[in-house]
Amino acid sequence: MKNPIKDFLFILETDPVHPEVKKNFKHNFFANLMDACFWYFGDSFAAAYTIMPVFVSTLTDSPILIGLIPALNGAGWFLPQLFLARTLEGKNRRMPMVRFLGIFDRIPFFFLALGAFLIPQLDKRIALIMILVIYAIKVFSGGLVALPWQELIATVIPVSHRGRFWGYSLILGKLMSLGGAAITGILLVSITYPYNYATMFLIGFFAVSISYIFLNLNIEPEIPRQISADSFSLLTRIKGVFSKDRNFLIYLINRGFIFLAGMALAFVTVYGINQYNLPIAQSATFTAIMLISEIIGFGIWGNLGDRSGYKRVIETSNLILILGIGSLLLVNTLWTLYLVFALMSFAHSGEYIADQNFAMEFGSEEDRPTYIGMSKTLTGPFFLLAPIIGGSLIQFWGYNSMFLAALILSVIAFVIIKFLVRDPRISIQFLKS
């Protein structure tokens, strides 16, 4: 009788996997699984698309500043990554850098809690600036550790198992986050503002600290690596990649359009609370809806990516996002808004898991840090543009104008990925055959 767990973690003898990676695969899979679970649980108390925008809306009514939270979350993760690529290319191990930078990725949770606790003693404008600065430090610290951490995952998790690792680690992590959303709902109604938020952020700090313990359990082999000979500067490196890989450039253009379209998702929670006069505790309901949709999505998208490639994942999730944003223009009840938000969150989970994997399949192993870094840093500015565009549209013409603009952008993104981007996985298989 087959053992499903053993089969799930089985690596074929013929797979070209480093012997040390194969030997420690199960150990590393578990360590990274637990790291992800506790990280997502902790981060659910400061959710970028639900909890934090509503928290900031208690300090300002500016749509641009409220939309800045999910924008900072995306830009902070994406923008710093390329600047570490050249340094990382020459490192035989990724773990020392991950261990060091991972500390700064977690400490801001504690300062968010402290900042929320101090709000009653501060002028609202000062409190707003303080929270935005702490949050910016949090997300940009995450961006600094992102590339070495992704490279660590790419090293210790073979390509044949990356999709299922991302899928199931995200499923379990989001299940724990669902528990976090339930705790959040209780805290928001049982503790007075702003001490409810301070308590939430403190719980988040303890959870991500546990995730750091599991992160340090990784056993990484030392693999000799050299800096690519054709990269003398960052600009030269970017030009070199684009000159030999136009397909990658077109893929990044798709990313830019889809991140701009993401302005719709960034404002849905605040829109729902304002439109239907909901208490702020309802932000926990939106968080739960997002998490359930993502849990379902990660399982589906991860397996689809392993079987059919991440180009297919991006195509399908783009199409679903178009349907979701288009539906926002038609909804007129809270329950239909919940359903549309669930659909958009499902699409977002596909975009997320594809972003973690697709760029790894362009170029050679030596070039991989640069490709991953470029896919993040060069598209990161679009995250910062999105709330400026979206917030301005809301401020002058209302939410429907913003949703319509997002719909047009998402259609353009779908056309690009569907008809103009070639799947690098298929191209490599063709060359080998």
CATH number, residue 106: 1.20.1250.20
Cα 134 from Cα 59, distance rounded (Å): 15
pTM: 0.77
Domain count, the chain: 1
Residue 364 identity (one-letter amino acid): S
Cα 79 from Cα 414, distance rounded (Å): 23
Going by C-alpha positions, the residue among 315, 345, 346, 329 that lies closest to residue 410 is: 315
Q: Residue 228 domain-assigned?
A: no
Going by C-alpha positions, the residue among 294, 48, 284 that lies closest to residue 169 is: 294
Q: Residue 69 domain-assigned?
A: yes
Q: Residue 4 domain-assigned?
A: no
Total count of residues recorded for the chain: 433
Q: Residue 5 domain-assigned?
A: no
Cα 433 from Cα 422, distance rounded (Å): 17
SS3 409: helix
Structural domain including 96 reads: 20-220+233-432
Write down the residue that tokens 């070209």 correspond to.
16
Give me the tens of pLDDT residue by residue for the chain, a chain 433 residues long. 444 444 556 665 555 666 687 788 889 999 999 999 999 999 999 988 889 998 999 999 888 888 888 888 888 887 887 777 677 767 788 899 999 999 998 999 999 999 999 999 999 999 999 999 999 999 999 988 988 898 898 888 887 777 778 778 878 888 899 899 899 999 999 999 999 999 999 999 999 999 999 999 998 888 776 665 554 567 777 888 888 889 999 999 999 999 999 889 888 988 998 889 988 888 889 988 988 998 888 878 877 887 888 899 999 999 999 999 999 999 889 999 999 999 999 999 999 888 877 887 887 766 777 787 788 888 888 888 888 899 889 989 999 999 999 999 999 999 999 999 998 876 544 434 4
CA atoms within 13 A on the CB side of 323: 15
Q: Residue 318 domain-assigned?
A: yes
Cα 144 from Cα 81, distance rounded (Å): 6
Cα 419 from Cα 86, distance rounded (Å): 32
Structure tokens at 142: 């995450």
The predicted structure's pLDDT at residue 2: 46
224: preceding bond cis by omega (within 30 degrees): no
Structure tokens at 401: 């104008």
Q: Residue 225 domain-assigned?
A: no
Write down the residue that tokens 């979350």 correspond to.
73
The predicted structure's pLDDT at residue 395: 87
Q: Positive or negative CA dihedral for 176, 376, 29, 88?
A: negative
Q: Residue 407 domain-assigned?
A: yes
Q: Residue 212 domain-assigned?
A: yes
